[in-house]
Amino acid sequence: MTATFHTIAFDADDTLWHNENLFEEHHRKYCQLLAEYHDAETVESTLFRTEMRNLELYGYGVKSFTLSSIETAIKLTDGAIPAEELRRIIDFGKDMLAHPVELIDGAAETVADLGQTHDLILITKGDLRDQERKIARSGLASHFKHIEVVSNKNSEDYARIFRRHGIEPSQVLMVGNSLKSDILPVLELGGYGVHIPYHLTWEHERVETVPNEHSKFHEIASIKQLPELLASL
């Protein structure tokens, strides 16, 4: 495989550093806040529908999530939720934005090692300001030849990125935790995919079928196993 790909592309959130655990904690506190109005299942399902309805308008990220959380709280309380509780929801979002970047075990060493032998590119989606903050605080930016923050990640988005940098899709290996956003679009373009599952997956990112039969697809349990996988191929 090392003779047929020259670029390794990495996802960021939940591939290089923890992210979904912050949303999980927000969900826990949010359901507690609204417990006097509705059960947790109702709160969660209503919030998810609001997020999906707002995706086209707000995009991804903490700010979008916070706005949808406020809208959902107003809806579920028929507008009766006190301003103080709305302020708490805003504070939940601010806490997430200010949270330190916590690298996944082995991420720093793996990126540094592979950066010696391959061109690395970081491709992450979400709010530009928040993603730039996390990238800067991660300490990993210097290892990447290119860094891309995008509003969505589908095959057209990847193709546009690869064209801009003069990269042939068939010579790219994409590493990420999301089959839907990281792996399947690059496989569709003819590239390689290495899936590293994270212990939490947002419902919107879940897919029913894992492409285990695809010749260019591989799955490992930890980013620390990536150099060994590449060597074995």
Query: Does residue 1 carry a pLDDT above 70?
Result: no
Q: Give the homologous superfamily in CATH for domain 20-98.
A: Putative phosphatase; domain 2 (1.10.150.240)
What's the CATH class of domain 7-17+101-232? alpha beta
Q: Which residues pair with 194 in a beta bridge?
A: 175, 218
Let me know: does 142 contact 111? Beta carbons within 8 Å.
no
pLDDT 10s digits, 137-171: 999 999 999 999 999 999 999 999 999 999 999 99
Let me know: does 59 contact 51? Beta carbons within 8 Å.
no
State pTM to two decimals: 0.92
179: nearest Cα among 14, 36, 2:
14
pLDDT class of 35 with cuts at 50, 70, 90: very high
Domain boundaries in the chain? 7-17+101-232, 20-98
| Other CB atoms within 10 Å distance of the CB of residue 144 | 19
State residue 202's pLDDT score.
85
